Amino acid sequence: MTARFHSFVVFAEMRTGSNFLEANLNAVQGVACHGEAFNPHFIGYPNKDDLLGVSQTQRDADPSHVLNVIRNDTGIAGFRYFHDHDPRVFDTLLNDATCAKIILTRNSVDSYVSWKIAQATGQWKLTDAKARKGAKAVFDVKEFEAHMAALQSFQVALLGRLQISGQTAFYVVYEDLQSIEVMSGIARFLGIEETLEGLDKKFKKQNPSPVCEKVANYDEMLVALSGPNPFDLTRTPNFEPRRGPNVPNYVAAAKAPLLYLPVSGGPEVVVRRWLAALDDMRPTDLLKKMSQKDLRQWKRRHKGHRSFTVLRHPVHRAHDVFCHRILNTAKGGFRGLRQNLVRRYNMPLPQVADDPAYDLAAHKAAFAAFLTFLKVNLAGQTAVRVDQAWCTLAQAV
């Protein structure tokens, strides 16, 4: 093994085949992949108390300690890192040229559908085909759009940082995982001259049927994804031009020369209704999901246009986010984060939002605990990423 790399990180996402990739990496002598080392909900793997002797509490207090322990592990060790993992280690990873970068991606629709099925069945990996649970995904265009935006934003940021620092990553797509030659190539990239004799047989593909058979509202999905590639699905991080990160979120009046920038947690519904009423239109008639080209054309048609946003007081905004994202246990709520806030940050949240025992006093106490969490989260002192729902207004604007 050469001294080119001393550790590695697999940049991936849920439902991209990262468990299968990890299993094959661990089959290479001298390589050890330690799961999702910086998942804010657990350390390494669910139901594990520590990673190489480091507890989750110790990791959250000092994430660099885990990086040092992994780097000093025998052979060459690494872990998997997703876009919503502890953001405090991202810069350290990208600045370390001795940390090999493996970037695993998958067709966005396939990964989204797989994610929805896993949510419905509760089955996140399969080792015995007899135990497979079946379900159909329900496509939600707004949820898919948010899913796409988060993943693409992370990939663009990742590529930019690698280019600026002059580093090269090993790119692998979901379909490549079945190639023993590609798996052996990853080993050589890490500095180990070993050819695998076979791929891991433990993990089974959970949903091998075509997408049309896995989506309950397939026709509705086709309509949502039709047209001039509204979600930029064919974009690869290497060659296609950058997209402005906020342009698809802009909202333009149908006739009036006004362009609105919605801010999460702000009075979006009220402003959209007002903007539509200026032209005697409905909110559904407003122009949304524009590309940069669409925006340029709109500006040319509306000489003297004005751009604006509407802000809420930070406390009112935080309360809106708390009620709709944290307290809410139904659709739209951050259920995974909610559980973590209760378990890791002792936030006194009820099991369900309409719990009769959850009175005004309890609500005040829970919201105060959420504000305490926000303070340290915005200061970069937690393992939870700063979500756009509660990022500072200055950053949003």
Whether residues 290 and 319 share a domain: the answer is no
Cα 37-40-66 angle, rounded to 5 deg? 35
Give the pLDDT confidence score for residue 104 in this predicted structure: 94
Instruction: Report phi then psi at 3, rounded to 5.
Output: -95, 15
Q: In the 3-class helix/strand/coil scheme, how is 77-136 assigned residue by residue?
A: EEEEECCCCCHHHHHHHHHCCCEEEEEEECCHHHHHHHHHHHHHHCCCCCCCHHHCCCCC
The conformation of residue 243, written as its DSSP 8-state character, comes to -
Give the pLDDT confidence score for residue 371 in this predicted structure: 93
Single-letter amino acid, residue 174 = Y
Please give the residue that has the higher pLDDT: either 391 or 122: 391
Alpha-carbon span 71 to 78, nearest angstrom: 8
pLDDT per residue as tens digits for the range 92-118: 999 999 999 999 998 888 888 888 888
Q: Examine the pLDDT at 63 and tell me if it is beyond 60.
A: yes
Average pLDDT over residues 150-164: 89
The packing angle between helices 108-121 and 141-165, to 10°, is 120
Domains in the chain: how many in total?
A: 3
**Residues spanned by the domain of 294:** 247-308
Q: Is residue 359 situated within a structural domain?
A: yes
Q: Is residue 263 situated within a structural domain?
A: yes
Whether residues 204 and 270 share a domain: the answer is no
Whether residues 303 and 327 share a domain: the answer is no
pLDDT per residue as tens digits for the range 176-207: 888 888 988 999 999 988 777 777 777 656 66
Whether residues 318 and 380 share a domain: the answer is yes
Q: Examine the pLDDT at 236 and tell me if it is beyond 50.
A: no
Whether residues 321 and 304 share a domain: the answer is no
Give the pLDDT confidence score for residue 57 in this predicted structure: 93
Single-letter amino acid, residue 127 = T
pTM given for the model: 0.68
Mean of pLDDT over the chain: 85
How confident is residue 247, by pLDDT bands cut at 50, 70 and 90?
Answer: confident
Q: Examine the pLDDT at 129 and tell me if it is beyond 70.
A: no
Whether residues 280 and 350 share a domain: the answer is no
Whether residues 333 and 302 share a domain: the answer is no
Among candidate residues 286, 308, 330, the one where a domain is terminated: 308
Q: Which tokens belong to 154? A: 């992370």
